C-alpha cells in the first residue's frame, strides 16, 4: 500500500514518518514510534484508554488516522511531566488519592483530565464526572479519580486541597 | 533516652507496615505511562496473528480454503485445525476435565469461534488475511437456551461426546449434559420442607455476563528452535498453571517454557484460562521461527474468552411462621456453553456454590446443579468472585427478601433473626463448610445504625402512600444484603487444578544491607501486590516496606503458585509471606543471640529489633542482623538470610459484609437513581486501608454494572448481540454512585496474620444489594422477583406488568 509522509509534533518533538493511509494514530504512536503510554481498550472510541491531546482537544487516537494528524501538535502521557522532570499535579494527584489500580486507563484518564482542567480550572464534582465520562475505568469506581483531579486542580490553582467529607 | 532516639511509635510508622495507608509503589510507573503491558512488547522480526471466526453459532464446516488469505501481501502462514492436527493440538484439555477445539474441527459450536489463524508481518495484514479465508458452512439447528438443552430433540452440541456416558464428574443424563453435582442432605431437607409453616419458591436467573477488563487477553510467543525453548509473555492471572498446562499440551519440557506475565490491565477472572489465541501464537512461532503476537480485540473478548455466571436457579426456602429459617433447597441449570472450560478447582464443577446457605443458620440444606452444553461461548469464570460464590450469594439474598415479604417481616429484621451467631463460630454449615470467624450481628447493627435504617423505612412508607394517592410517580427501594464469601482456595485436600494442590508460595531474600526481594506465585492485575506484600514483610521483619521489592509473574524466578483469582492472594500467598518471614526471623534471632552473647530465649522482638529481655538498651536491629547474616553467623550456621514457604491453608477464609442501598425509581421512564450505597466489610486484618477501600469502590462499581445493565445476550440464531462497548454496559463516572465504606475487623483465626481477602466481596455483596433495592421498590405491589439486569427498559417493563401505566 502506498505510504504518505506525515509530520507532527509529539510531546514537543518533531516526528517525520511514512504511514499507510489506513494506519490509526494509536497504532502509529505505539507500534511505529514506541510511545506506548496510550493504550488500546476497544478500538471503537468508547473506552478512552487511547486518549491523547491533539491541537488542544482530547482525542481518542483509535478513531483518528495518522494522516489526519499531519501537522498536529500532540501530547501523550509521556509528555505530561513538568519541564523540570517532576510529576505533573495530575500524576501526583492520581497517586496521592489512589486514583488508579491496574493502570491501564490511567494514561488516557490523566491526559483527558489535563484538558478538562485547561477548559475549567475549578470544576465541581459533577463537572469532573461528566468531563471524564468518555474514559472508562474498570478498577476504581471513579470516586478516587474525581478526588485526584480535585487534588490537581487545587495544586494548580495554588489553594489547599480539601477532601470532601465521606 | 536522649532526644534523638525515636519512639516505638516512630519506629513502627517508619516501616509502613500493616495497617498503613501506604501509597502504591506501582503508581510511579503507571502515572507516567511506563507500565509494561503485553501489547507494549515489540521483538525483532515479530509477526502478528489474527483469527478468522465463525459467523454461525452452529454449523458443519464443509471446506476451508486459505489460498486467497495466503496471497494477501504480508501474510506469512495460515493455520487451521488440519495444521494443528500434525502437532496433535487441534483440541486442548480444559481446566474442567473437558476438551475444547483450538480451531474449528469439522463443526463450529458458537458464534465467533476460532476457525483459522492468519500470521502476517503487521496487525493490518493479519486482519486482511483473516478476512480472505473462505469457509463453506452448512448451518445446523441452534440452541442457546440452557433450559431446553436436555429436551429430547435438542440439537446435539458435542458430537465428539456422543457415545460418552461418563463425564468428568459422573454419569451424563443426556447428550448435552456435562455434569450433575450435589451437596447437602436431601432427605433431611425434604423432611423439613414437608413440615414447614411457610415456603417460598422462585426462579432466579443470574444472566451471562463478562468480566471485560480494560486490557483484553493477549500474548507474545517466542520459540527458540536451537535451544528448544519457548518464552511466552501473556496476560496470565496464573502464570505457573499456564506453564504446566502448556507443557502438558505442547510436550515442550516444562523447564524449557518461560512464562512471563508483565503488568496486567485488569483481570477479574477473564485471564485465568487458556485460550485458542495462546495455543495458536505458540504454534505459529514454532512454525515461523520468529516471535508471534496475538492481541484480542474487544468484540473477540466479549464474545469468546470467558463469560461468567449463566446460572438458572430454582430456589426454595422453608421457615416457621415466626420467621426462623428451617431449610433451603436449590436446583440449578448451569449453562457452560459449547465446551466446559469453566475455571474452577477441578473437583468442584459448580465451584463453591454450596456457600448458598449464606450467612444464615439453616439446619438443613440441599443443592443440585446440572451443567449443560449450548451454542454459546465456553468459559464460566469467577468474575471478581470466588468460584460461583456470587451466584450463590445473589440467590440466597434475593430469596431471603422474598421470604421476608411472604412472612410480612422487615428484610433486615428477618436477616438479624437468622444470622449465624458469634458464639456459633467456627460454624459448620448444613453443606459442611466451616466458617472461620465473624460477628455478623455487630456488623449488621452497625450498618443499620449508620444508614439510619428505621428512618429510611419511614420515608419509604410515606412515599408509597403518596404514590398510592397519585401524588408522585417515583418509588423508593431499600436494598439489604448480608453476604458471606468463601475465598482463599484453598486447602489442597479440597482444591486442586488438574491435580496440583491449590497452595501458594513466597520466597524472600534479605540482602546484606537490609533490603530484600520477595517473589510469589500470585500475580497482581491491579490489586497493588507490590505495595501490600511489602507491608506484611515490614511488620513481620521490621524492615521498611520501601526496602522490599516484590516480584511476580516470571515462572523462572517465582516459586510455584496457582495465581491470583478467587481472592486467594492474601489468604494464601499473604500467609506464605508471613510464614517465610517467620523462618527468617527465627534465624535472625539466633544470630542476634550469638552477637549479644545471650541465650535465644533471653531475647524479645520489638518492632524492628531483637532486644535483651529487661535490658532494651542492648539490641540488634534487623538491618544489623541482615549484615551479620553474611559475615558473622554463629559457628555451624549457614550464611545468608532467606526463606521460602509453600502455604497450604488449613481452611478457606470467610469475609462478610452488610450492604445497604437506596434507589429512586421513576415508574414512567424506568429510570433509576442510586441515592445512597453503604458497604460495611469485614475482611479480617486490614493490611492497607487505602487499597481495601479502593478495591471496594471498584467491586461495587462492577456490581452496579452487573445488576443494572450487563448481559451477554444471544438471539435465537445464536448471534451474540452485546459484543461491543456500545451494547455491553460498563458504567461511566456519571452513572456510578457515590460509595460509602465502613468496616469491622474480626481476624481469621487460622491465618498467620488474620487476613481474609477483600477484592471480591463488593461484587458478591453488591449485586444482590442493588437487585434487592429495585425489587424492594415494587414489593408492596405484590411483585416478588424481577430478573436482572435492571436497566431502564426492564424496570419500565416490570412497572408496566404491574399495571402502573394505566
Residues B710, B768, single domain; the answer is: yes
Contacts of residue B346, Cβ cutoff 8 Å, sequence gap at least 6: B95, B96, B97, B496, B497, B498, B499
Which CATH number is B258's domain given? Answer: 3.90.1170.50
Residues B728, B770, single domain; the answer is: yes
Task: Give the 3-state secondary structure of residue B735.
Answer: coil
Contacts of residue B495, Cβ cutoff 8 Å, sequence gap at least 6: B345, B347, B348, B489, B501, B502
Q: Which of A107, A69, A102 is nearest to B213 (CA)?
A: A102
In this predicted structure, what is the pLDDT of residue B4? 76
Are the C-beta atoms of residues B584 and B641 closer than 8 Å to each other? Answer: yes
Q: What would the mean pLDDT of B146-173 be, rounded to a whole number?
A: 95
* Residue B770 sits at the chain A interface (C-beta within 8 Å): no
> What does DSSP assign to residue A101?
S
Give the number of A-B residue pairs with CB atoms closer than 8 Å: 179
Are the C-beta atoms of residues B666 and B472 closer than 8 Å to each other? Answer: no
In this predicted structure, what is the pLDDT of residue B5? 84
Residues B409, B277, single domain; the answer is: no
CA dist., res. B218 & res. B359, Å (int): 39
Which CATH number is B444's domain given? Answer: 3.30.365.10
Please report, in tens digits, the pLDDT of each residue of chain A (166 residues total): 799 999 999 999 999 999 999 999 999 999 999 999 999 999 899 999 999 999 999 999 999 999 999 999 999 999 999 999 999 999 999 999 999 999 999 999 999 999 999 999 999 999 999 999 999 999 999 999 999 999 999 999 999 998 876 5
Cell numbers that stand for B642 in this block: 532467606
DSSP string for B671-720: -EEEEEEEEEEE-BS-S-HHHHHHHHHHHHHHHHHHHHT----B-TT--B
Are the C-beta atoms of residues B651 and B476 closer than 8 Å to each other? Answer: no
Q: What would the mean pLDDT of B480-504 be, rounded to a whole number?
A: 92
* Residue B20 sits at the chain A interface (C-beta within 8 Å): no
Confidence of residue B349 (pLDDT cuts 50, 70, 90): very high
Interface test with B, best of A2, A141, A164, A166 (most B CBs within 10 A): A141
Confidence of residue B490 (pLDDT cuts 50, 70, 90): confident
Q: Which residue in the list B111, B237, B589, B710 is annotated as catalytic?
A: B237
**Is residue B385 annotated as part of the catalytic site, yes or no?**
yes
**Cross-strand partners of B620:** B610
Residues B86, B232, single domain; the answer is: yes
How do the domains of chain A map onto residue ranges?
4-79, 89-157
Q: Residue B209: enclosing H or E segment and its boundaries? A: strand B198-209
CA dist., res. B765 & res. B471, Å (int): 34
A89-157 CATH pick, 1.10.150.120, 3.30.360.30, 3.10.50.40, 3.40.50.10140: 1.10.150.120
CA dist., res. A14 & res. A24, Å (int): 19
Contacts of B527 in chain A (CB under 8 A): 101
* Cβ-defined contact of A133 to B733 (cutoff 8 Å): yes
In a domain, B564, yes or no: yes
Residues B598, B580, single domain; the answer is: yes
Cell numbers that stand for B648 in this block: 497450604
Judged against a pLDDT cut of 90, whether residue B498 lies above it is answered with: no
Instruction: Give the gyration radius of chain B's Cα atoms.
Output: 28
Mean pLDDT of chain B: 97
Torsion angle in degrees (nearest 10) through CA of B78, B79, B80, B85: 150
- Render pLDDT for B1-38 as a digit per residue (tens, 0 to 9): 456 789 999 999 999 999 999 999 999 999 999 999 99
CA A36 distance to own-chain centroid: 12
**Cross-strand partners of B204:** B313
Residues B321, B459, single domain; the answer is: yes
Q: What would the mean pLDDT of B400-411 be, rounded to a whole number?
A: 98
Choose the final residue of a domain: B620, B647, B674. Answer: B647
**Is residue B581 annotated as part of the catalytic site, yes or no?**
no
- Render pLDDT for B607-631 as a digit per residue (tens, 0 to 9): 999 999 999 999 999 999 999 999 9
Q: Which of B526, B507, B164, B176 is nearest to B334 (CA)?
A: B176
Judged against a pLDDT cut of 90, whether residue B253 lies above it is answered with: yes
Are the C-beta atoms of residues B567 and B760 closer than 8 Å to each other? Answer: yes
Residues B99, B136, single domain; the answer is: yes
Interface test with A, best of B122, B214, B531 (most A CBs within 10 A): B214
In this predicted structure, what is the pLDDT of residue B345? 83
Judged against a pLDDT cut of 90, whether residue B169 lies above it is answered with: no
Judged against a pLDDT cut of 70, whether residue B174 lies above it is answered with: yes
- Render pLDDT for B629-673 as a digit per residue (tens, 0 to 9): 999 899 999 999 999 999 999 999 999 999 999 999 999 999 999
The closest CB to that of B733, out of A92, A138, A142, belongs to A142
Q: Residue B552: enclosing H or E segment and its boundaries? A: strand B548-552
Residues B638, B779, single domain; the answer is: no
Q: What would the mean pLDDT of B764-786 be, rounded to a whole number?
A: 98
Q: What is the pTM of this model?
A: 0.97
> What does DSSP assign to residue B134?
E
Structural domains in chain B (count)? 3
Are the C-beta atoms of residues B297 and B115 closer than 8 Å to each other? Answer: no
* Residue B463 sits at the chain A interface (C-beta within 8 Å): no
The closest CB to that of A95, out of B27, B37, B725, belongs to B27
**Is residue B686 annotated as part of the catalytic site, yes or no?**
no
Q: What would the mean pLDDT of B502-531 be, rounded to a whole number?
A: 97
Does domain A4-79 sit in CATH 3.10.20.30? yes
CA dist., res. B801 & res. B806, Å (int): 10
In this predicted structure, what is the pLDDT of residue B347? 83
Residues B344, B484, single domain; the answer is: yes
Residues B91, B237, single domain; the answer is: yes
Residues B402, B285, single domain; the answer is: no
Contacts of A143 in chain B (CB under 8 A): 697, 736, 738-739
Residues B298, B353, single domain; the answer is: no
Cell numbers that stand for B659 in this block: 450492604
State what percent of residues in chain B have pLDDT above 90. Answer: 94
The closest CB to that of A36, out of B40, B701, B733, belongs to B40
Task: Give the 3-state secondary structure of residue B568.
Answer: coil
Vertex B72: Cα angle to A22 and B296 (nearest 5): 60
ipTM of the complex: 0.98
For residue B479, the enclosing domain spans 307-489+652-801
**Cross-strand partners of B203:** B314
**Is residue B237 annotated as part of the catalytic site, yes or no?**
yes
In this predicted structure, what is the pLDDT of residue B95? 87
**Minimum Cα–Cα distance from B300: chain A residue:** A42
Cis preceding linkage at B651, omega within 30: no
In this predicted structure, what is the pLDDT of residue B252? 96
Q: Which residue in the list B385, B495, B518, B683 is annotated as catalytic?
A: B385
Choose the final residue of a domain: B647, B676, B700. Answer: B647
In this predicted structure, what is the pLDDT of residue B2? 55
Contacts of B33 in chain A (CB under 8 A): 36-38, 76-78, 80, 106-107
| Residue B800 exposed, middle or buried by CB count within 10 Å (0-12, 13-18, 19+) | middle
Choose the final residue of a domain: B625, B647, B669. Answer: B647
Amino acid at each position: 500500500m502506498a505510504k504518505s509522509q506525515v509530520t507532527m509534533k509529539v510531546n514537543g518533538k518533531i516526528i517525520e514518518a511514512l504511514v499507510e493511509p489506513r494506519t490509526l494514530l494509536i497504532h502509529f504512536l505505539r507500534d511505529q514510534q514506541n510511545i506506548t503510554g496510550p493504550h488500546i481498550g476497544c478500538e471503537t472510541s468508547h473506552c478512552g484508554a487511547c486518549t491523547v491531546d491533539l491541537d488542544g482537544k482530547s482525542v481518542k487516537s483509535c478513531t483518528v488516522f495518522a494522516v489526519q494528524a499531519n501537522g498536529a501538535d500532540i501530547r501523550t502521557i509521556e509528555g505530561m511531566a513538568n519541564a523540570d522532570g517532576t510529576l505533573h499535579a495530575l500524576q501526583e494527584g492520581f497517586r496521592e488519592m489512589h486514583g488508579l489500580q491496574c493502570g491501564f486507563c490511567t494514561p488516557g484518564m490523566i491526559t483527558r483530565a489535563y484538558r478538562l482542567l485547561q477548559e475549567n480550572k475549578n470544576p465541581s464534582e459533577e463537572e469532573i464526572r461528566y468531563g471524564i465520562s468518555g474514559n472508562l475505568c474498570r478498577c476504581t469506581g471513579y470516586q478516587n479519580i474525581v478526588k485526584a483531579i480535585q487534588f490537581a486542580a487545587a495544586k494548580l490553582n495554588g489553594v489547599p486541597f480539601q477532601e470532601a467529607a465521606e | 533516652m536522649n532526644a534523638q532516639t525515636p519512639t516505638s511509635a516512630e519506629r513502627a510508622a517508619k516501616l509502613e507496615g500493616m495497617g498503613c495507608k501506604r501509597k502504591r509503589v506501582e503508581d510511579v510507573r503507571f502515572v507516567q505511562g511506563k507500565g509494561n503491558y503485553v501489547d507494549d512488547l515489540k521483538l525483532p522480526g515479530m509477526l502478528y496473528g489474527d483469527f478468522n471466526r465463525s459467523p454461525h453459532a452452529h454449523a458443519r464446516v464443509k471446506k476451508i480454503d486459505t489460498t486467497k488469505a495466503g496471497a494477501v501481501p504480508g501474510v506469512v502462514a495460515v493455520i487451521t485445525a488440519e495444521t494443528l492436527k500434525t502437532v496433535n493440538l487441534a483440541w486442548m484439555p480444559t481446566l474442567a476435565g473437558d476438551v475444547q477445539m483450538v480451531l474449528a474441527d469439522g463443526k463450529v459450536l458458537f458464534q465467533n469461534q476460532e476457525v483459522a489463524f492468519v500470521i502476517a508481518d503487521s496487525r493490518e495484514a493479519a486482519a486482511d488475511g483473516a478476512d480472505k479465508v473462505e469457509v463453506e458452512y452448512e448451518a445446523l439447528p441452534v440452541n442457546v437456551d440452557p433450559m431446553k438443552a436436555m429436551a429430547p430433540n435438542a440439537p446435539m452440541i458435542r458430537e465428539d461426546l456422543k457415545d460418552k456416558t461418563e463425564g468428568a464428574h459422573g454419569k451424563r443424563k443426556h447428550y448435552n449434559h456435562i455434569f450433575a453435582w450435589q451437596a447437602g442432605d436431601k432427605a433431611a431437607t425434604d423432611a423439613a420442607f414437608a413440615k414447614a409453616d411457610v415456603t417460598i419458591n422462585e426462579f432466579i436467573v443470574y444472566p451471562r455476563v463478562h468480566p471485560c477488563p480494560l486490557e483484553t487477553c493477549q500474548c507474545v510467543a517466542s520459540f527458540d528452535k536451537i535451544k528448544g525453548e519457548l518464552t511466552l509473555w501473556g496476560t496470565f492471572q496464573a502464570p505457573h498453571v499456564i506453564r504446566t498446562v502448556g507443557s502438558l499440551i505442547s510436550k515442550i519440557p516444562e523447564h524449557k517454557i518461560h512464562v512471563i506475565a508483565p503488568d496486567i490491565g485488569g483481570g477479574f477472572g477473564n485471564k485465568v484460562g487458556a485460550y485458542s489465541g495462546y495455543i495458536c501464537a505458540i504454534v505459529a512461532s514454532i512454525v515461523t521461527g520468529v516471535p508471534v503476537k496475538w492481541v484480542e480485540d474487544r468484540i473477540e473478548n466479549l464474545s469468546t474468552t470467558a463469560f461468567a455466571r449463566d446460572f438458572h436457579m430454582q430456589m426454595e426456602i422453608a421457615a416457621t411462621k415466626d420467621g426462623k429459617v428451617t431449610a433451603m433447597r436449590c436446583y440449578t441449570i448451569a449453562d457452560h456453553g459449547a465446551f466446559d472450560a469453566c475455571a474452577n478447582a477441578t473437583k468442584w464443577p459448580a465451584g463453591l456454590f454450596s456457600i448458598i446457605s449464606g450467612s444464615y443458620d439453616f439446619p438443613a440444606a440441599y443443592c443440585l446443579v446440572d451443567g449443560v452444553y449450548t451454542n454459546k461461548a465456553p468459559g464460566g469464570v469467577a468474575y471478581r468472585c470466588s468460584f460461583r460464590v456470587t451466584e450463590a450469594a445473589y440467590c440466597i439474598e434475593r430469596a431471603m427478601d422474598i421470604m421476608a415479604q411472604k412472612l410480612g417481616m422487615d428484610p433486615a429484621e428477618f436477616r438479624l433473626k437468622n444470622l449465624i451467631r458469634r458464639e456459633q463460630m467456627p460454624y459448620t454449615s448444613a453443606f459442611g463448610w466451616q466458617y472461620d470467624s465473624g460477628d455478623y450481628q455487630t456488623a449488621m447493627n452497625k450498618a443499620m445504625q449508620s444508614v439510619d435504617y428505621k428512618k429510611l423505612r419511614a420515608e419509604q412508607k410515606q412515599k408509597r402512600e403518596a404514590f398510592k394517592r397519585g401524588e408522585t410517580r417515583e418509588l423508593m427501594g431499600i436494598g439489604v444484603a448480608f453476604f458471606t464469601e468463601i475465598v482463599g482456595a484453598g486447602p489442597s485436600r479440597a482444591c486442586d487444578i488438574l491435580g496440583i494442590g491449590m497452595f501458594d508460595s513466597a520466597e524472600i531474600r534479605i540482602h546484606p544491607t537490609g533490603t530484600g526481594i520477595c517473589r510469589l506465585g500470585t500475580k497482581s492485575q491491579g490489586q497493588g501486590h507490590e505495595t501490600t506484600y511489602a507491608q506484611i514483610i515490614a511488620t513481620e521483619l521490621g524492615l521498611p516496606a520501601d526496602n522490599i521489592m516484590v516480584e511476580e509473574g516470571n515462572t523462572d524466578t517465582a516459586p510455584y503458585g496457582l495465581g491470583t483469582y478467587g481472592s486467594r492472594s492474601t489468604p494464601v500467598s499473604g500467609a506464605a509471606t508471613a510464614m517465610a518471614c517467620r523462618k527468617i526471623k527465627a534465624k535472625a534471632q539466633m544470630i542476634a543471640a550469638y552477637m549479644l552473647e545471650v541465650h535465644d530465649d533471653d531475647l524479645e522482638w520489638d518492632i524492628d529489633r531483637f532486644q535483651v529481655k529487661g535490658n532494651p538498651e542492648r539490641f540488634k536491629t534487623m538491618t544489623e542482623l541482615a549484615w551479620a547474616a553474611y559475615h558473622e553467623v554463629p559457628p555451624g550456621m549457614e550464611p545468608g538470610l532467606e526463606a521460602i514457604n509453600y502455604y497450604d491453608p488449613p481452611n478457606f477464609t470467610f469475609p462478610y459484609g452488610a450492604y445497604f442501598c437506596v434507589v429512586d425509581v421513576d415508574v414512567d421512564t424506568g429510570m433509576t437513581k442510586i441515592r445512597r450505597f453503604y458497604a460495611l466489610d469485614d475482611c479480617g486484618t486490614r493490611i492497607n486501608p487505602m487499597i481495601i477501600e479502593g478495591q471496594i469502590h471498584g467491586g461495587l462499581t462492577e456490581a452496579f454494572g452487573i445488576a443494572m445493565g450487563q448481559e451477554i445476550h444471544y438471539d435465537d440464531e445464536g448471534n451474540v448481540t452485546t459484543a461491543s462497548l456500545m451494547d455491553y454496559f460498563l458504567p461511566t463516572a456519571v452513572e456510578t454512585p457515590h460509595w460509602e465504606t465502613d468496616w469491622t475487623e474480626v481476624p481469621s483465626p487460622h491465618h498467620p496474620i488474620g487476613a481474609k481477602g477483600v477484592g471480591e466481596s463488593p461484587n458478591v455483596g453488591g449485586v444482590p444489594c442493588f437487585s434487592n433495592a429495585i425489587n424492594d421498590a415494587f414489593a408492596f405491589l405484590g411483585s416478588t422477583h424481577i430478573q436482572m439486569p435492571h436497566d431502564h427498559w426492564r424496570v419500565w417493563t416490570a412497572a408496566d406488568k404491574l399495571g402502573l401505566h394505566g
